[in-house]
Structure 1
Amino acid sequence: MSTHHTHNDLHSEQGPLAGEHPGRATNPVIKARDLAWLEFEKPDLAGAEIFGHAFGFATSYKDADELHLRGTRAGLPAVIVRRGARSRFTGPAFLAADDSDLPRLASHLGVPMTPLPENLGGLTVDSLDPSGARVRVVAGCHQLPALPGQTPLVLNVGAEIARENLTQRPLREPAKVERLGHVVLQTTRYRAALDWYLETLGLIVSDFLYYEGQRSKGPIMSFIRCDRGSEPADHHTLAMTLGPRTRYVHSAYQVADLDALAAGGQFLQDAGYHRSWGIGRHIQGSQIFDYWRDDKGFLVEHFTDGDMFDNTLDPGWAPMTASGLAQWGPPASADFLGIKPGRESLAEARSILSALRKPDNEFDIARLRGLLKVASS
């Protein structure tokens, strides 16, 4: 009897019902290989760098108006922060699988290829998704060399003794970020945006979520990975969810193992930063997670041990519930769910009223009822 239960368990059903979204496009324009980096604006670059180092990034470039934060793996910076009048997320950059993808994409979108600044190198094709969010696809950028990383601890597991006459003494220090893993975005035009990413960038869906009792209305969240063929990719590089406004939700960065994540979290806590939710293990993606608020309140995640899928798996389908966000760990916090009293929850409440008045989005009364049911669960 097979023990391969990637989706065949209590949390997710295998594949769509007749007529449901297949989770991929038949003939996408290109196939993006990965996220390249994320871009933000903040008025205080010094504060962004202080938090970045406490979170586990290294600085790869900075001047008076720009800061690049990177992980230990060779490649590209993970986060680019530019000086701005207010703190905001300005968009993701995806890495093209091949340099030849850029002219094809530019021709399809009817936009030019433009050079990136010398501190990055290469070219970019910039466009807007149906939500109005700016999306970059880049190629030919300068590659950063690898930095020394954290070595995962050698563990005695069950009856297997791998560590003998040696103790474990992990330091309470920042968890060294290895790489950017994924970004989660909320949109009022979920289905239109989802199809755009699948058809334009060749991404494929790993899991769909729907509101309980509303499966016939279609999914309201998707965990989306890059299609690398037979080469496994992260369970999700992009996650998208329907909501009353278009906004950044969180981004996630890989660390070496559970001890790096936990000790790094203790370091952040000692430094006075706010843990939003954790430590726990997710269901969709299986990552061990720990969520924090950065110096300007953006939600960021340390993760380790995430699922890696090739392109042969069909999407799983499951209802969205607060309890269904984790296999184990503390209950999802009000801060993580966006319902903690404060500026963010007030902005979300105001946007609900605005979204319900507009006919050009997918967030309606039925979806509001589904969202409130998740929040109250």
Structure 2
Amino acid sequence: MNRHIDAHTDLHTGQGALRGEHPGRAANPVVKVHDLAWLEFAKPDLDRAEAFARAFGFATALHTRDELHLRGTDPGAPCVIIRKGRRSSFLGAAFLAADDADVLRLAEATGRRATRLPETLGGIAVALTDPSGGAVRVVSGVHRLPALPTQTPLPLNVGHAVGRENATQRPAPEPARVQRLGHVVLQSTRYLETLNWYLQHLGLIVSDFQYYPGQRQRGPVMSFIRCDRGATVTDHHTVAMTLGPSNRYVHSAYQVCDLDALAAGGEYLREQGYHRSWGIGRHIQGSQIFDYWRDPDGFLVEHFSDGDMFDCSIEPGWAPMSASGLAQWGPPATRDFLDIAPGRESVRELRATITSLREDNEFDIERLLGLLKVAFS
């Protein structure tokens, strides 16, 4: 498509790019990936990880002594692969290529070698490392798990439109069944360099940029990035990337069918003793209805529903970053969600901040002041 839409009139943000600002896409990317395939983690207790996962709404595709595969109800590869490890860590993301030829093209362009994946997954992959040190795999030809029974949206009486007659509404008190993996959010000390790498190597394009208030002239510090599938719409963001004092996983998001499934599933999680980090609310960038939870290993995971879907014609929006600007409605963003609550995560981030300010990267004193202004806005 050669037509580009100014997305800043009533679509998703209040303003577009100024002259000379980042275009939000590479002119000639190596390949254009189609989607996220799965995320990989290491955890010491697979049984505990599976118990939370099932309460959150995953189904188990594989559980061995050393590996756990979690899936949604949609057909395709597992959403999450957890390997047994001595300590909990995020191992990286896998992206789905259009075909084997794109994997081979990317391998040649990066001087890497395509290899076969284990038989439990099938297909081939090329293993890469982004400028922040993050592990990235691009895969194709993986086994497609068959669809599972899913929840269906409840019939609603909306305004004067009657969708339900002579029947009550009783959402089942059960886990919100995950349909699919939606996106992952990553933090980088080399945000702009890493962003450009993803745009150039994977063909991702930016839906929205954010900048620290008063620092727009220094460029963006966060981007919501989607796959470029031409005229076919895709999620508003498949990856979100933000500047920060450490290179780390922030959260990942998994789609459920509607608000009732999300809310009833949240009640189920709460009753099982798990910790809600933030929600329920509706985001601005991406528009998703959301609910965030901490798993037993401290990883932040999100249920979402009703997210924006864009084709390649939508140009990037630009907006100032603020904690109050994270949602259209819902409770204020919590300190736990912002990683400023007292605890291991905040202590780890404080140490990373001290280290980062001594190193040669994009996170400097001015950026730190901008981040603190956002966190406490």
TM-score (structure 2 length as normaliser): 0.97
State the distance in 1 between where 2:29 and 2:308 align.
24
8 A contact 1:14–1:314 mirrored in 2: no
SS in 1 for 2:91: strand
> C-alpha separation between the residues in 2 aligned to 1:9 and 1:226?
22
CA contact (8 A) 2:282 2:288 kept: yes
Change (3 A) 1:43 1:307: same
Pairing of 1:223-372 with structure 2 (within 5 A) = 223-359=224-360, 361-372=361-372
Contact 1:206–1:316 (CA under 8 A) maintained in structure 2: yes
One-letter amino acid of the structure 2 residue matched with residue 252 of structure 1: A
CA deviation string 1:154-175 (max 9, x = no partner)? 1010111111111111111000
User: What is the letter of the counterpart of residue 285 of structure 1?
Assistant: G
Alpha-carbon spacing, 1:175–1:108, altered in 2? closer, same or farther (3 Å):
same
1:92 aligns to what SS in structure 2?
strand
Counterparts of residues 14-53 of structure 1 (less than 5 Å): 14-53=15-54
SS of residue matched to 1:105:
helix
1:111 aligns with 2:92: no
Please give the alpha-carbon distance, in whole angstroms, between the structure 2 residues aligned to 1:202 and 1:226. Answer: 7
Equivalent residue number for residue 127 of structure 2 = 126
Give distance in 2, aligned partners of 1:156 and 1:97: 41
Percent identity for Structure 1 against Structure 2: 69
Distance 1:74 1:134 in 2: 25
The 1:102–1:225 alpha-carbon spacing in structure 2 relative to 1, beyond 3 Å, is: same
Q: Deviations over 1:111-134 (max 9, x none)?
A: 000111110001110010000111
Report the residue type matching 2:183 in the other structure: H
Partner Cα separation in structure 1 for residue 338 and residue 10 of structure 2: 25
Give the conservation status (yes or no) of the 8 Å contact 2:187–2:247: yes
Question: 2:372 corresponds to which letter in structure 1?
Answer: L
Deviations 1:7-44 (A, max 9, x none): 33597234210110000000000000000000000000
Structure 2 unaligned runs (5+)? Answer: none
Query: In structure 2, what is the Cα distance between the partners aligned to 1:112 and 1:15?
Result: 40
Name whichever of 232-241 and 156-165 sits farther off. 156-165
Amino acid at match of 1:126: A
Match of 2:34, SS state, is strand
Q: Which amino acid aligns with 2:363?
A: F
Check whether the contact 2:100–2:124 (CA below 8 A) recurs between aligned residues. no
Q: Deviation per CA, 1:18-73, whole angstroms, max 9, x where unpaired?
A: 11000000000000000000000000000010001000000001111000000000
2:111 pairs with 1:139 = no
Residue of structure 1 equivalent to 2:152: 151
Other structure's SS at 1:20 match: coil
| TM-aligned CA deviation for residue 110 of structure 1 | 0.3
Q: Secondary structure at the match of 2:337?
A: helix
Count of paired positions: 373
In the other structure, the counterpart of 2:211 is 210
Give the Cα separation in 2 of the matches to 1:6 and 1:288: 21
C-alpha distance in 2 between matches for 1:48 and 1:172 = 21
Instruction: Name the aligned partner's letter for residue 95 of structure 2.
Output: F
Query: What does the per-residue CA deviation read over 1:254-273, in whole Å, with 9 as the maximum and x for residues that have no partner?
Result: 00000000000000000000
How many angstroms does 1:98 deviate by? Answer: 1.8
Distance in 1 between residues matched to 2:298 and 2:231, nearest whole Å: 38
CA contact (8 A) 1:69 1:80 kept: yes
Cα deviation digits, residues 58-117 of structure 1 (max 9, x gap): 000111100000000001100000000100000000000122101100000100001111
Report 1:52-201 matches (<5 A). Answer: 52-201=53-202
Q: CA deviation at 1:295?
A: 1.6
CA distance in 1, matches of 2:12, 2:68: 41
What residue identity is the alignment partner of 1:170? P
Give the equivalent residue in structure 2 for 1:374. 374
Matched residues in 1 for 2:6 and 2:278: separation? 27
Distance in 1, Cα, partners of 2:330 & 2:224:
21
The answer as to whether partners of 1:11 and 1:318 remain within 8 angstroms in 2 is no
Aligned partners of 1:357 and 1:13: how far apart in 2? 36
What stretches of structure 1 of length at least 5 have no aligned partner?
Answer: none
Coordinate RMSD, CA, aligned: 1.2
Q: 1:135 is paired with a residue of what secondary structure?
A: strand
- Cα pair 2:113 2:126 within 8 Å, conserved: yes
Deviation of residue 6 (structure 1)? 5.2
| In 2: Cα distance, 1:258 partner to 1:116 partner | 37
| 1:11–1:324 Cα contact (<8 Å) kept | no
The answer to whether the Cα contact below 8 Å between 2:15 and 2:319 also exists between their aligned partners in 1 is: no
Cα deviation for residue 375 of structure 1 reads 1.0
- Aligned partner of 1:184: which letter? V
Q: 1:329 corresponds to which letter in structure 2?
A: G
| C-alpha distance in structure 1 between counterparts of 2:303 and 2:364, whole Å | 33
CA–CA distance in 2 between the matches of 1:352 and 1:243?
A: 8
